[in-house]
Amino acid sequence: MTSDHNVDTPTHPHGHIKSFVRHRSYMSANQKESTERLMPKWAIPYQNALLNPAEVFGRHAPVILEIGFGMGETTLKIAQARPDEDFLCVEVFDAGVGALLRRIDEHEVSNIRILQHDAVEIVRDMIAPDSLNGVHIYFPDPWPKKRHHKRRLIQPPFIKLLSSRLRPGGYIHCATDWEHYAEQMLEVLSAEPLLENTADGFAPRPEYRPVTKFEARGLRLGHGVWDLIFKRL
């Protein structure tokens, strides 16, 4: 979870409130080494120009965007289980980027590329309309304090933008272990006219989303986890 430092006075030149706070985070020696060695190979720099996934991955394949991959454990498992799809994976924190780069290298996975930048700007500037087959947003920062709810990633303007980047039939899959955020997600996603719910309310966890160690521990303690899967009309 991100720090509350300076969260009450967000500023951003492009007019949206960031859902994260950049601060120095600890990186292990392995993560630092992986970042220096592997970023040029597996990462894509932000640019104010549309991305061509076929050029990036060297093939034409369905593209899935993942926003906020943490340390990349789930990302790797999904990409390994779905080798015929390509994954554009967004994370802002250095330690997570270094960890996923190391996983990619160790497991010789070729269908993941990393973008270390603000997700809103990436979707707005680099993702073409009607181009994505899916979007994964798993356990985004819940910003539990009421005064910080405006910082939550799942907000109507962003979901409208994100929906426009999906192909018809493409999906948005969100998951959270905060019930209040789950309810907000359901409200926001249900209100977007380009989307329809694939379930009656919350969805069962699909087999392709593995249960993380953190999630499994929470489930054993009786904590809830809510999945939402909406499709583009």
Which amino acids are annotated catalytic? 141
Q: What are phi and psi of 10, to 5 degrees?
A: -70, 140
* Dihedral sign, Cα of residue 146, residue 152, residue 154, residue 160: positive
91 assigned binding-site residue:
yes
227 assigned binding-site residue:
no
CB 165 within 8 Å of CB 130: yes
215 assigned binding-site residue:
yes
Spell out the residues 6+ positions from residue 95 whose beta carbon is closer than 8 angstroms to its own: 25, 26, 27, 28, 31, 71
118 assigned binding-site residue:
yes
CB 165 within 8 Å of CB 119: no
**d(Cα 233, Cα 229) in Å, to the nearest integer?**
13
Which one, of 109, 119, 30, 40, lies nearest residue 76 by Cα?
109
192 assigned binding-site residue:
no
145 assigned binding-site residue:
yes
Per the annotation, where are the binding residues?
A: 66, 91, 118, 141, 145, 177, 212-215
Per the annotation, where are the binding residues for substrate?
A: 145, 177, 212-215
Per the annotation, where are the binding residues for S-adenosyl-L-methionine?
A: 66, 91, 118, 141
